[in-house]
Chain A
Amino acid sequence: MTRAASGVGGQVFLTPEAVSWFARVRTGGWSLRSHDRTRVERGNGLSLEMLDFAGLLLILAALDLGVGLATRGRRAAPPPADDAQPGGNDPAADAIVSTFVFYSYYGYGFRPGFRPRDLLPPARVAIMTAPDGATDWLDTPADPLGFWSRYPLPLNPPDDDTLVVGLLGGSVAQWLGLQCGSRIEQALSARFAGRPVRLVDFGVGGFKQPQQVAVLAHMLALGQSFDAVVNLDGYNEAVYGDMNLTQGTRAETPCPIVVKPLRAAVSASGSSARGVILSGRVLDMEARVTELGHRIDRSRSMTMSLLRMVRESHLRARLARARRALRELPGDPDSDLICLPPSTGTDSDASVIDLWVAGSIQLHRLCRANGIGYLHVLQPTPFVGGRAWSDDERRTISRDTGHGDVIARIYEGFRTASAGLLEEGVRFLDATTCLDAVAETVFADTYGHLNQRGNDVLADAICCNLLSEPPLLARRPR
């Protein structure tokens, strides 16, 4: 091994062959064949050896480009930043444009105009629409009340003929309404001699009881008419109710994932400054990871793509650390401006289950008082029921990150407590087993979100129940 000083003051280790190779390149003393020391000069002064070196570089570059193009993603380029957010053409380019807006009535809602396309990267859309779902719902803008509704709200069809079905719940309800709205409308309409049916979607990611009660009360107050209401819930009540109690807030507080950054930012405690910094860091890194992902997929050069993958991996690790730090930020009940502490001596599982039951009973009573049919559906989850996961699901679903233990424990409580719902006269559908007979992939992730196939099966189960005896959906006087 020969030690040779580099031209920039550092030292590099090269083999004797490498040193002589560099020396020859620098002096033009290297010919096409390494053992032939004859210097070949061309008319323009360039040596054949230099051309040879350039040729090697060209070949390597061509290889890099070839492999890069062969493995390049075919997905469409993301929309430009200006188009990605509503109000993106606003001259105040630095204004913060969030996905959610905090509402006084039920915690939060989507920013009006915000579309699913603004939120979901193409890879996520591919999973959600599998195996062959439509994508037209991606352009549904949030209405002024913050819902991804396919109809302007409040919807009051001028004719007595149209039936209106409201769908309440969290993200599973949100996607079911968007991805299967037409399917549900057609199935119900066929049973009512072609009478038009409108499914109005009030599902919002993270919503949980008593937000559904607040939404129904609010919409009724605004004059929305319903013939039937379906409440599809379970996961958020269990996981986020439990998480709220663990973090020292009441179970009914809206989803902690949404509330925590705001709580950290405006709380008067000593941790608030750190909360603001961490929230900003998380937002910044999320944006950079997304942008980097697009660059990796679109890069023509394999080397550049590889370097970006290394950088992305590093950035993801930092993002995970920042998220964990934000989650674990200590709360201070005495100075918290957003959340109330739980009552002392609260049994966490019991309070979560009681809230789920009480919320459903109040929806039932509100509907009955207004002449509306009410169906409560306990949504499926990968961790309850006897279904064997597909290969894709085994790769995607994790009992740890999906809160499988919490789900299994509290769902058991839900199922036991559903006897109380039936006693109260609530129409209850336990949909935790409705996917058991489906062998192909139905879950889009570890959180129980469904792909198109799963949504279709769930939609059919709900329609079947709505139309079974005694029918919940019938001609009602306006």
Chain B
Amino acid sequence: MNMFLGSVVVGFGAILVVGAVLRLRRRARRGGSEDAKDIYPLW
């Protein structure tokens, strides 16, 4: 029981951590490399 609850919490925590890292990386890039290469040839 405790193991199951633990894995739910740990799994969800991992999702949050991955999401937070991706989101912070996205903010750090601030529309930089990926967007600039793809979307702004004219601007």
Q: Are A296 and B26 in contact (CB under 8 A)?
A: yes
Chain A residues, CB < 8 A from B42 = 171, 205-206, 255, 257-258
Chain A residues, CB < 8 A from B37 = 396, 398, 401-402, 445-446
Whether, in the assembled complex, A309 has its beta carbon less than 8 Å from a beta carbon of chain B, the answer is yes
Q: Are A303 and B31 in contact (CB under 8 A)?
A: no
- B residues engaging A (CB < 8 A)? 1-5, 8-9, 12-13, 15-16, 18-20, 22-24, 26-27, 29-33, 35-43
In the bound assembly, the distance between CA atoms of A67 and B26 in angstroms comes to 15
Q: Are B23 and A305 in contact (CB under 8 A)?
A: yes
Q: Are A71 and B40 in contact (CB under 8 A)?
A: no
Q: Are A34 and B1 in contact (CB under 8 A)?
A: yes
Contact with A449, one of B5, B8, B19, B43 (Cβ below 8 angstroms): B43
Chain A residues, CB < 8 A from B12 = 60, 63-64
Chain B residues, CB < 8 A from A64 = 12, 16
Prevailing SS type, chain A contact patch: helix
Q: Closest approach, in angstroms, between the C-beta of A248 and any C-beta of chain B?
A: 20
Chain A residues, CB < 8 A from B24 = 71
Chain B residues, CB < 8 A from A258 = 42
- A residues engaging B (CB < 8 A)? 15, 17-18, 20-21, 30, 34, 56, 60, 63-64, 67, 70-71, 73, 119-121, 123-124, 126-127, 171, 205-206, 255, 257-258, 286, 296-297, 302-303, 305-306, 309, 316, 320, 392, 395-396, 398, 401-402, 444-447, 449
Chain B residues, CB < 8 A from A119 = 43
Q: Closest approach, in angstroms, between the C-beta of B33 and any C-beta of chain A?
A: 5
In the bound assembly, the distance between CA atoms of A64 and B1 in angstroms comes to 23
Closest 9 CB pairs of A and B: A123-B31, A445-B36, A34-B1, A306-B19, A205-B42, A401-B37, A71-B23, A123-B30, A302-B19
A-B contact pairs, 13 of them (CB 8 A): A21-B1, A67-B19, A73-B27, A123-B35, A126-B31, A127-B30, A255-B42, A297-B27, A303-B16, A396-B36, A401-B37, A444-B36, A445-B40
Chain B residues, CB < 8 A from A126 = 30-31
Q: Are A306 and B22 in contact (CB under 8 A)?
A: yes
Known: A297-B27, A302-B19. 6 other contacts (CB 8 A): A205-B43, A302-B20, A309-B19, A392-B32, A396-B32, A396-B36
In the bound assembly, the distance between CA atoms of A426 and B35 in angstroms comes to 38
In the bound assembly, the distance between CA atoms of A17 and B38 in angstroms comes to 49
Chain B residues, CB < 8 A from A316 = 38
Q: Closest approach, in angstroms, between the C-beta of A228 and any C-beta of chain B?
A: 26
Chain B residues, CB < 8 A from A297 = 26-27
In the bound assembly, the distance between CA atoms of A15 and B19 in angstroms comes to 27
Q: Closest approach, in angstroms, between the C-beta of A109 and any C-beta of chain B?
A: 13
In the bound assembly, the distance between CA atoms of A402 and B36 in angstroms comes to 10
Chain A residues, CB < 8 A from B38 = 316, 320, 401
Chain A residues, CB < 8 A from B40 = 124, 445, 447, 449
In the bound assembly, the distance between CA atoms of A123 and B28 in angstroms comes to 10
Given A306-B15, A445-B37, check contact A60 B20 (CB 8 Å). Answer: no
In the bound assembly, the distance between CA atoms of A74 and B31 in angstroms comes to 14
Given A67-B20, A71-B20, A305-B23, check contact A120 B43 (CB 8 Å). Answer: yes
Chain B residue nearest in CB terms to A175: B43
Chain B residue nearest in CB terms to A239: B41
